[in-house]
């Protein structure tokens, strides 16, 4: 039995039934990390293997506290972990050891996970390419010359390379969906508020980013979401969770799905992406869904205006103390400085107008979801690009005017906090992976995952392992 090919859920069931021991699982994953992580660089701040094996052996005879009991987990390096180096990819925190877990980490630890290290991310999570001056570049397991995406690039690459059984991530601008598409795994952005933030800084205006699960199966995604979700009484706008794995039933028959493609030509796409998406849609259609190509429901330019305004406002506020210190500011990457300075130049009226656009778009999409069960878009506008690039400068000779404009296709989902699942589509002509965003109305997380389960059972693209690393 190849333990690395078992889903996290199957590993959990085998551990609960005493057919496998946590120490066996830990040994298998540590061996795989030793074998391939030097090439991929997905897992960072790895703890001492002997200490991890001792912790796993202690779990062999311990009473399970949750479904993650004894499973090795590397937490995204934007999430603080007690006693485990957390850097945010920044030289300012290169040696920082948190005194306590963030809420997400605490919930996963309480469910029995053994934290083995962290997963790599761009500095401060800015950009969808996981490189930083502390840990270096994460590479795509399907082509080591290419990016794994980001900001959950280490998580996606670690899953694809069989260094992790399941993973957490976070998503403000596609950071769960883009790397999942680039690495042939699943990434799920929950409805905003379902996975709550910590009660730190602003928690009323900061409603763009969320944490969520990644995995090689939908069941793993659903079970990890059940652990992560649930109200934090110290922050507003919370949503109660449920047992998402128990809701993975039904099929795609009779579902109405709107295909938005390149948003009427507004989003430049590299050749082959739309064609691979349409091949995936044919699979969904064969499973009984009705696919309808529709016109863009809202002007792309207005969505972008709202997005960059609100994002800049939040970055300027959140990074004020660092930016105001010249010595610390000098250690920020240019993209982060750009975000902060865009926000510092904003007038209150511009922020208000951006919020009005967001509000009108939310209402428009709520009406659209009265006719459709889901909408679909590509997860990215480019194929995984060379790992040496900072970001794609152009698409089909169309210049990108910001460091993140090349991933504008995720904005229609992110701006209004829709639940969205990145579905692997297989591989393009160059053997590179790509994904499809399947998004439903706010609160329809269980329904989106159930649709994803039907697709997974018919395709199981993540079972196709990367080439020998």
Q: How far apart are CA 34 and CA 53, in angstroms?
A: 14
Instruction: List pLDDT tens digits, range 91-138.
Output: 999 999 999 999 999 999 999 999 999 999 999 999 999 999 999 999
Instruction: List pLDDT tens digits, range 177-188.
Output: 999 999 999 999
Contact criterion met (CB below 8 Å) for 43 and 72? no
CA angle in degrees (0–180, nearest 5) for 54-24-467: 120
Nearest in space to 279 (alpha carbons), one of 85, 436, 400? 436
Within 8 A by CB and 6+ apart from 124, the residues are 78, 88, 89, 90, 319, 332, 333, 336
Q: What is the dihedral of CA 409, 460, 194, 181, to 10 degrees?
A: -30
Region 298-307 average pLDDT: 98
Q: Is the pLDDT of residue 223 over 90?
A: yes
> Number of C-alpha atoms within 13 angstroms, CB side, residue 94?
10
CA 294: distance to chain centroid?
A: 27
Instruction: List pLDDT tens digits, range 243-287.
Output: 999 999 989 999 999 999 999 999 999 999 999 999 999 999 999
CA angle in degrees (0–180, nearest 5) for 172-430-166: 40
> Number of C-alpha atoms within 13 angstroms, CB side, residue 260?
26
Strand blocks (E) in 98-203: 114-119, 131-132, 136-137, 139-140, 143-147, 167-171, 186-189
Region 3-22 average pLDDT: 98
Instruction: List pLDDT tens digits, range 18-72.
Output: 999 999 999 999 999 999 999 999 999 999 999 999 999 999 999 998 999 999 9
Look up tokens 């061996």; give the residue.
31
For residue 469, the model assigns a pLDDT of 79
For residue 2, the model assigns a pLDDT of 93
Region 434-446 average pLDDT: 98
Region 165-192 average pLDDT: 98
Q: What is the mean pLDDT of the chain?
A: 98
CA angle in degrees (0–180, nearest 5) for 165-169-175: 125
Q: How far apart are CA 395 and CA 175, in angstroms?
A: 20
Confidence of residue 1 (pLDDT cuts 50, 70, 90): low
Region 71-86 average pLDDT: 98
Go through the domains of the chain in sequence order and give each one's CATH number. Answer: 3-463 (3.90.1300.10)
Look up tokens 């005017």; give the residue.
401
pTM for this structure?
0.98
3-class DSSP assignment, residue 210: strand
Residues annotated as catalytic are 76, 151, 175
For residue 468, the model assigns a pLDDT of 81
Region 375-395 average pLDDT: 98
3-class DSSP assignment, residue 97: coil
CB neighbourhood size of 347 (10 A): 8
């Amino acid at each position: 039995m190849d333990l690395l090919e078992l889903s996290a859920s199957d590993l959990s069931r085998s551990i609960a039934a005493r057919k496998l021991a946590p120490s066996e699982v830990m040994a298998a994953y540590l061996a795989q990390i030793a074998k391939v992580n030097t090439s991929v660089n997905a897992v960072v701040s790895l703890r001492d293997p002997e200490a991890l094996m001792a912790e796993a052996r202690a779990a062999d005879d311990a009473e399970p506290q949750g479904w993650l009991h004894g499973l090795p987990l590397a937490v995204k390096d934007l999430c603080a972990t007690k006693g485990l180096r957390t850097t945010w990819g920044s030289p300012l925190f290169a040696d920082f050891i948190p005194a306590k877990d963030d809420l997400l980490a605490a919930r996963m630890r309480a469910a029995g996970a053994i934290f083995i290290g962290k997963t790599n991310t761009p500095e401060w999570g800015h950009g969808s390419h996981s490189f930083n001056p502390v840990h270096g570049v994460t590479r795509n397991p399907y082509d080591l010359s290419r990016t794994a995406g980001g900001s959950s690039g280490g998580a996606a690459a670690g899953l694809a390379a069989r260094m992790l059984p399941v993973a957490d991530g976070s998503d403000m601008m596609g950071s769960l969906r883009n790397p999942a598409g680039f690495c042939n795994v699943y990434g799920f952005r929950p409805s905003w508020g379902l996975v709550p933030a910590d009660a730190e800084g602003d928690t009323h205006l900061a409603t763009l980013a969320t944490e969520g699960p990644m995995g090689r199966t939908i069941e793993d995604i659903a079970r990890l979401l059940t652990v992560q979700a649930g109200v934090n009484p110290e922050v507003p706008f919370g949503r109660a969770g449920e047992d998402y794995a128990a809701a993975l039933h039904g099929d795609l028959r009779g579902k109405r799905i709107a295909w938005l493609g390149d948003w009427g030509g507004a989003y430049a796409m590299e050749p082959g992406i739309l064609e691979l998406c349409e091949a995936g849609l044919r699979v969904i259609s064969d499973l009984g869904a009705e696919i309808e190509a529709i016109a863009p429901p809202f002007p792309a330019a207005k969505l972008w205006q709202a997005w960059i305004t609100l994002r800049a406002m939040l970055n300027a506020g959140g990074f004020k103390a660092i930016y105001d210190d010249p010595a610390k500011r000098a250690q920020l990457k240019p993209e982060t400085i750009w975000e902060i300075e865009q926000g510092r130049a904003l007038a209150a009226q511009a922020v208000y107008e951006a919020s009005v656009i967001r509000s009108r778009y939310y209402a428009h999409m709520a009406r659209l979801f009265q006719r459709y069960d889901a909408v679909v878009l590509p997860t990215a506008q480019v194929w995984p690009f060379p790992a040496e690039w900072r970001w794609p400068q152009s698409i089909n000779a169309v210049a990108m005017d910001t460091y993140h404009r090349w991933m504008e296709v995720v904005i229609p989902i992110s701006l209004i906090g829709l639940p969205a699942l990145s579905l692997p589509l297989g591989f393009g002509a160059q053997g590179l992976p790509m994904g499809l965003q399947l998004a439903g109305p706010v609160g329809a997380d269980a329904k989106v995952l159930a649709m994803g389960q039907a697709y997974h059972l018919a395709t199981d693209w993540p079972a196709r392992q990367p080439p020998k690393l």
